[in-house]
Each structure stands twice: as structure tokens, then as C-alpha cells.
Amino acid sequence: MCLLSTGSRVRVPPGSPNISFVFNENLAVIVRYHDFLTLIVVNSAHMLRPIRRHVTGCGNYKKWDVDCPPNTKLKCPLIIVRYEPGPNGRKIRKEKSLGTNDEAVAWQLINQMVVSGETKPADPPKTVEQSIDLFLALEAKRGIGEATLKSFRKFLRGNPKRNPNGNFSPTLLEFAAKQNPARTYLKDFTTDDLTNFRGEWRVHRHALKIQSERLKQFFKFAHDSKWIPENPAAKLKPPKVKEEPVYAFPKEDRDAILHAVSEDDYLLTLNLTMRYSALAPVDIVHLKPQNLHGDRIVTKRRKTNKRVNVKLPPVVVERLKALPIQAGGYWFWNRIGKQSKHETATGNLRRMMRPYFEKASVYQRDEHGEAVYEKDEDTGELRPLLATLYQWRHTFVHEHIMKDTPPSRIAELLGDTLKTVMETYAHFIEERQAQLDKAAERTWNEEELEGFRI
């Protein structure tokens, strides 16, 4: 509450700051002079105020002291006009750029000038968009790889050519605009905002870890460059990433699942096809009769863009041929409407399979074959995690490794790289080695060896 009238004075403790604010479109300044406060209201006709300097593309180009046309998105830069004392008592008119086109920021800068007595406006804070653009430009100049740059662009402002209706995670720019109030300046972001932002990402596992690191890098850069006074990402904890266990369905689980779905032609064919093709759910939903060449499935993997060509047992081929084709020409995706996303289709498969995994009591296992439990957030009770269709792929690999198919051939069948296969399935390869060692041991002739003891 301001109890001062213009020019009145009030005694204040030493060290009190100057305060300024806009009052009835006039700039009011409370100025401390020794230990008095004085309220000064500057008449708007003489005060410093933001004025648009219209650029050539603006409908009001060359017009003075008017705002940009209301129907345009373009907002021209704001300037101030000051009169400085010149020779012979004349005044020299000086225009100074405020470095912003945002009126609220412009007023802040002017208030700072009036209070501090500075004749030059301070640098305006950087908007989210300015920060992102500058960061990307500086990183590009620094010569970082195009792939890294692309991955930064993806979550900061999105690929310029991406489908505006695509099912993408919101970019930092979109997230900022969506907040209430919108986060206009990069300095507006809090650690909570960043946690919420990360919560909206549709990336998982390893990709989530990487992108989270990139988000931290961006804010650290902004902080190091003094664009923001504090780094809201400094306290951001790494995301909790649940690495899905890689295990194969043991025989009793395989039997139980196939038995549980045996009455449902669609689900039985789905499970058998996944079991013998090793296709991931995303590739399964894209399968069409055109991908069946005789007894082989030939398709391109979504994730790696690699071609796979895998032979199916005759029983599975017959079942596939007998399966009705759904909207869009797919076997396992009823794609009504072109807008329908494959994430919806794989989500539907997951939901459809849930009661069957429950009925069959097939749960996720860790790499030692033990069931994996999860804590119920409400009751705190431990409950076993239901298995997923993805495990058919691992089961396929497990069987090939146990039958000594070379890893390079397995990579080919999976549409993956040898490196990924060797890393992902290292424990299967060890298991096979242990099995071979046991077999080797069984051939040792103890009687013969006994005679050669030292």
C-alpha cells in the first residue's frame, strides 16, 4: 500500500532500495535520498516509455508511436527515446534499443534505468525461444555432430518439418507456452517445471536417460552463459529407468500362454507368429499378407530400418493365411482412420493379452529366472509383474543360441546389429557356454585320467 503523495517524504532505515512501478500509465518511482523516501510520479508525456521501431515487413512501417497492427503476429522491437544535454544548451535526441519486443520486459528495463540512474538499458532476459535458437546456433558453430544437434532440436523446439498433428512429446518451447502463466523467459523455469516437462516425454529406458542428460546440458550452458541467474536443472535427478529384464519364457510359461489363448484364433496366431518370427510388437502390428512370401515373413524393422527375412513353421503360415484381414490391410491392427497411431495398436495388444498372462500366471523374470515384483503404490504390497509379448523375441534368441546359431545370423534374423545381440544376450551366450562346458566334462574319461595323476 502506498501512503505517499507526490513529493512527500518518509523516514526509512538506511539501505532501503529504490522502488519503481507503473501507476495509471505513469511511471512512479520511490527514490531514497539519504534516509528519506520520495515518491516521484513522472508525467507520461516526458517519461521514458517503450516505443515500437517498426521494421520493413510491418504494416506500420515508418509510422511513429503506434503499436504494430493488431492482426499481425509480428511484434517490432521496442526502443526508448532519451534527450541528452548537448552543446549550447541544446538537447540531443537519442534512440536506444531495449533489445526486446515484449512490453512487460521493456517496462522492467526502463524501471531499472530510472531507479539506478543508468542511461543505458540493461540486457533483457532471454526468452525461451531465443535461448533455444542461440544454443542450437552456437552448438552448430562449435561443430558438434549433426545427430547430436538433431537430438537437441527434437526436444527443444522440434524438427521444423515434423507433422504438426504427430503424436510427439511436447518440446520445451511447446511446454513453456502451455504453462499457466506461460514461461516466457528461460529464467522462469523451475526444477519442478523441468520434472513435469520430463514427465510428458514419450521416450523410454536408455533414450530417456540420454535426453534427460541433454536437457541438463542445455540449462547448464544457459547458466554458464549467464542467460539465467540460477540453473533449475542442477538439482534434477536422473530419471528412474526401469530396464526391462531380458529373459526367455521357460517351457512351462510358453505352454501356459499358448494354452490360455488357444480358444482365440487371433491371439493364438499373434503369439505363435511372435514366437517364431521374433518380430517386436511394433513390427507385428504392421504385418500385412504382402509380407508373407511363401513360408517366409519379409519386412523392414521400424526401429532399425533393417530388412528381416524369417522362415515360419507351416502351422503358423496356415494360421496366418486363415486370419481375417482388418481395416488398413493389417493382420493385427484394425486401423480405422489413417490418423490411428501404431502406439495405440501395440497398447491394445498389451491390454488384450493382460488377462491371459494373468490366467496363465506368467510373470516377468530377472536374468536368474526369478519372478520380478513391483511395489503397489497404494497398498505398499509387492505384486509380480505380468509378462509382456516382447519376451517372445528373447525366447526366440534363447532357443537359437542354445542350438548354436551363430550370433551374426541371429542379428540378421532379428534385424539388429551383432553388437546389440552380443550386449543384450551376453547372459544367454554364457548360459550356452556353461552348457557346452558341462557336455565337455561328461566326455572326460576319469578312468584314463586317473592313471596320469602327478
Binding flag, residue 54, Zn ion (CB under 5 A): yes
Residue nearer to Zn ion on the CB measure, 51 or 222: 51
Nearer of residues 68 and 360 to Zn ion, judged by Cβ: 68
Q: Is 394 in the site for Zn ion (CB under 5 A)?
A: no
Cell of 65: 508511436
Judged by CB under 5 A, the number of residues near Zn ion is 5
Distance, CA of 247 to CA of 224 (rounded, Å): 45
- What mask of x and - would describe binding to Zn ion in positions 420 to 449, judged by CB under 5 A? ------------------------------
Q: Least distance in Å: CB of 421 to Zn ion?
A: 60
The C-alpha atoms of residue 247 and residue 394 are separated, in whole angstroms, by: 6
**Secondary structure element (H or E) that encloses residue 394, with its range:** helix 391-402
CB of 234 to Zn ion, least distance (A): 39
Secondary element (H or E) of residue 213: helix 205-224
Q: How big is the CA angle at 17 (ends 16 and 23), to the nearest 5 degrees? A: 120
Pick 101 or 131: Cβ nearer Zn ion: 101
Contacting range for Zn ion; rule: CB under 5 A; set: 32-40, 74-82, 156-164, 380-388: 74-82
Q: 76 or 176, CB closer to Zn ion?
A: 76
Exposed e or buried b per residue across 197-234, where buried means at least 16 C-beta atoms within 10 angstroms of its C-beta? bbeebebeeeebeebbeebbebbebbbeeebbeebbbe
Among 28, 51, 68, 79, binds Zn ion (CB under 5 A): 68
Q: Which is nearer to Zn ion, 16 or 97 (CB)?
A: 97
Which range of residues in 19-27, 52-60, 117-125, 247-255 is near Zn ion by CB under 5 A?
52-60
Minimum gap (Å) between residue 101 Cβ and Zn ion: 9
Residue 58 in the binding site for Zn ion (CB under 5 A): yes
Grid cell, residue 211, equals: 535426453
- Alpha helices by DSSP H, listed for 164-204, are 172-178, 191-199
Q: Which region, judged by CB under 5 A, interacts with Zn ion, from 32-40, 49-57, 155-163, 227-235? A: 49-57
Q: Which is nearer to Zn ion, 60 or 179 (CB)?
A: 60
- Identify whether the C-beta of residue 184 lies closer than 8 Å to the C-beta of residue 101: no
Q: Hey, is 308 helix, strand or coil? A: strand
Is 353 a binding residue for Zn ion by CB under 5 A? The answer is no
From 62-70, 140-148, 262-270, 273-281, span contacting Zn ion (CB under 5 A) = 62-70
Q: How far is the CB of 66 from Zn ion (least distance, A)?
A: 8
Query: Which region, judged by CB under 5 A, interacts with Zn ion, from 25-33, 55-63, 154-162, 278-286?
Result: 55-63
Candidates 54-62, 77-85, 136-144, 177-185; binding stretch for Zn ion (CB under 5 A): 54-62
Q: How far is the CB of 65 from Zn ion (least distance, A)?
A: 12
Closer to Zn ion by Cβ: residue 54 or 398: 54
Q: Which of 18, 46, 47 is nearest to 31 (CA)?
A: 18
8: CB partners within 8 A, 6+ apart: 38, 39
Nearest to 193 by CA among 176, 212, 207, 213: 176
Q: Measured from the CB of residue 53, what is the shortest distance to Zn ion in angstroms?
A: 8
**Sign of the C-alpha dihedral computed for residues 427, 430, 435 and 441 taken in this order:** negative
Least Cβ distance, residue 62 to Zn ion (angstroms): 10
Helix, strand, or coil here: 428? helix
The amino acid present at 341, given as its one-letter code, is K
284: cell is: 507385428
Site for Zn ion in 219-278 (CB under 5 A): none
Which of 76, 310, 362, 414 touches Zn ion by CB under 5 A? Answer: 76
Sign of torsion over alpha carbons 322, 327, 329, 332 = negative
CB closer to Zn ion out of 66 and 234: 66
**Least distance to Zn ion from the beta carbon of 79, Å?**
12
Q: Which is nearer to Zn ion, 71 or 443 (CB)?
A: 71
Sort strands 373-375 and 296-300 into parallel, antiparallel or unpaired: unpaired
Toward Zn ion, which CB reaches closer, 5 or 71? 71
Q: How far is the CB of 57 from Zn ion (least distance, A)?
A: 8
Q: How far apart are CA 58 and CA 238, in angstroms?
A: 46
Phi, psi (5° rounding) for residue 308? Answer: -120, 150
What is the torsion angle, in degrees rounded to the nearest 10, for the CA atoms of residue 89, residue 92, residue 98 and residue 102?
Answer: 90
- Calpha distance 266→273 (Å, rounded): 11
Q: According to the binding rule CB under 5 A, does residue 78 interact with Zn ion?
A: no
Applying CB under 5 A, the residues found at the interface with Zn ion are 54, 58, 60, 68, 76
